[in-house]
Amino acid sequence: MKNRLIFGFHAVTSRIRHEASSVEEVYVDADRHDRRMHDLVAAAKSANVRVIQADDARLSSMVGTRRHQGVVARAGALSLARNLDELLDAIEGPPLLLVLDGITDPHNLGACLRVADGAGAHAVIAPKDRAVGLNATAAKVASGAAETVPYITVTNLARTLRELKERDIWLIGTTDDAPKTIFEADFKGPVALVMGSEGEGMRRLTRETCDLLVSVPMLGAVESLNVSVASGICLYEALRQRT
């Protein structure tokens, strides 16, 4: 089982809470004695996770940033569904998926996972190439959502989109020049919301594979939204319609 580093209170606490058996050890800042640190250490020890005292310099060198909040964990792979067929077969009711095409910023990926979790999306799907991958920064920004939302990477996104269509999942892509807005789209059935990168948008083949293209109304001077903000708006419109 390949280990990776996760850091920050939300990410580490969520991993211990949801799957403590995957956490090999937790490194904590020896100079932090506040209640938040006390609670995390207590949770780790209660779950029989080894706790190691470290200084700020060591923690920073481990993850390549000082924004670790004094907590770094070495953990194995999650048992969340990583196979698309396995995931879809287990979903009860109409699926709600978020597809990310060409997202290369880990902060954007982490924020997308966070809003996907909040809106009840069943998974986030992305290509293995031209995408950032679920690294430690993305997991920290996700604030625990990387532990609860399956992040499925696929070799060929266009082929995966066609497979979703074969399962009667409606592909709704977002683009600035779409004739309809998200408020005119029907999100109540099986839906995969397809988001492109900020600036370039969806790749041509991805766009052509979509069943419907919609836009997020922009009434001010700003021409576009960050992909995680746009994802949140669209996913919560889907949630509104479904509830």
pLDDT digits (tens, 9 = 90+) for 174-233: 998 898 999 999 999 999 999 998 778 899 999 999 999 999 998 888 877 899 999 999
Mean pLDDT of 1-24: 81
The yes-or-no answer to whether 4-75 and 84-242 have a common fold is no
pTM: 0.72
* 42-96 pLDDT tens trace: 999 999 999 999 999 999 999 888 889 999 999 876 655 557 888 888 787 899 9
Q: What is the dihedral of CA 84, 85, 91, 95, to 10 degrees?
A: 60
End-to-end CA distance of the chain: 39
- Give the three-state DSSP class for 22: helix
Instruction: Please report, for the chain, the start and end positions of each structural domain, with discontinuous segments joined by +.
Output: 4-75, 84-242
* 10-20 pLDDT tens trace: 888 888 887 78
Architecture of domain 84-242: 3-Layer(aba) Sandwich (3.40)
Does the domain at 4-75 match CATH 3.30.565.10? Answer given as: no
| DSSP string computed for 197-234 | BTTTBS-HHHHHH-SEEEE----SS-----HHHHHHHH
DSSP-derived letter for residue 23 is E
